[in-house]
Amino acid sequence: MLLVIDVGNTNIVLGVYNGKKLLDSWRIDTDENKTSDEYSMLINQLFLFSGIEIKAIKDIIISFVVPNIRHSLGNTIRKLFDKEPLIVGPGVKTGMNIKIDDPKQVGADRIVNAIAACKKYGGPLIVVDFGTATTFCAISEDGSYLGGTIAPGIKISGDALFEKAAKLPRVELIKPGKTICKDTVSSIQSGIIYGYVGLVDNIVSKMISELNVDTVKVIATGGFATLIASETNCIHIVDKLLTLEGLRIIFNRNVK
């Protein structure tokens, strides 16, 4: 079995594959203050809850966008599984041509998502990842990574509003169903969510124009994908497990 781990700024997403079949997946908080012992206990409990044996894991692949957690999580993997994981980064074969000025600047999660989306849906396409930051990535018809856009995530946008406007309360990020709202909470929800929908539609529209092709598939992933995608005019598919699938594909491209 293969354990895949995506370490994001807000969440760590883990999944266990038996061949191409995803047996189970989990999402936990990214916490730079957690020790390797704490992560070991947490992951062990997740495996026990799902009925998956630790010793059944034969291989591990990890992508990081949070360097500070790499040491503690690396120790966790060695302690719990007694294995060295494959780390997505320089020297790892992705099978994707990255056509930007400095390929090393592209976050591992963006490449992983692009590889999975290209394999599953074919190019040309745009991948929108709703995480701590919202990333927009363009992939050509021949499967090349062309670049993209990075915007503040919807939660970051909301947090900035609550922190800077003293009288505005912190609200749950749910759709109020209208934009002419009769109370402060609904007004804030409307502004954050529908304003963000406008941001997504506008950026995707401009990217499609720059790609200059007849048909472009737009794939959404990440924690807030479902919330935003249902209100947009541009997103065709929501694939919440895209990153895990990308890690599985990359692992298979790097083993004999």
Question: How many CB atoms are closer than 10 A to CB 165?
Answer: 10
Partners of residue 6 on adjacent β-strands:
13, 63
Give, as one character, the DSSP assignment of residue 68. G
Q: Which of 6, 59, 82, 109 is catalytic?
A: 109
Q: Is 109 known to be catalytic?
A: yes
Question: How many CB atoms are closer than 10 A to CB 147?
Answer: 16
Identify the burial level of 68 via C-beta atoms within 10 angstroms of its C-beta, where 0-12 means exposed, 13-18 middle and 19 or more buried: exposed
Give the pair of three-digit tokens for residue 33: 């203050």
- Which contacts (CB < 8 Å, 24+ apart) does range 73-81 have? 73/5, 73/7, 73/12, 73/36, 73/39, 75/36, 76/36, 76/39, 76/40, 76/43, 79/36, 79/37, 79/40, 80/40, 80/43, 80/44, 80/54, 81/3, 81/54, 81/57
Give the pair of three-digit tokens for residue 251: 């692992």
Active-site residues: which are they?
109
